[in-house]
Amino acid sequence: MTKLPKPGDEVTWGTSGGETHGTVEKVVTSTTHVKGHTAKATKEDPQVLVKSGKSGKQAVHKPEDLKKA
């Protein structure tokens, strides 16, 4: 399992336009809805809620898609 980032950690992730950065808000362990997207997270397969440093919008990503900045 990929090491989970902690709330407050600065992370980067890939986008269709390159790479962006943001801050981890929390680790999600249950089904969560963000921006019309459903993240089917579980305790066994958690996901990470991040806030973009560029747009200020929230998104949910799988831990393996994030790199610590």
Q: What is the pLDDT of residues 7-64, one digit of tens each?
A: 999 999 998 889 999 999 999 999 999 989 999 999 999 999 999 999 999 999 999 9
Buried b (16+ CB within 10 A) or exposed e, 48-69: bbbeeeeeeeebbbebeebeee
Question: What ranges do the domains of the chain cover?
Answer: 10-68
- The model carries a pTM of 0.90
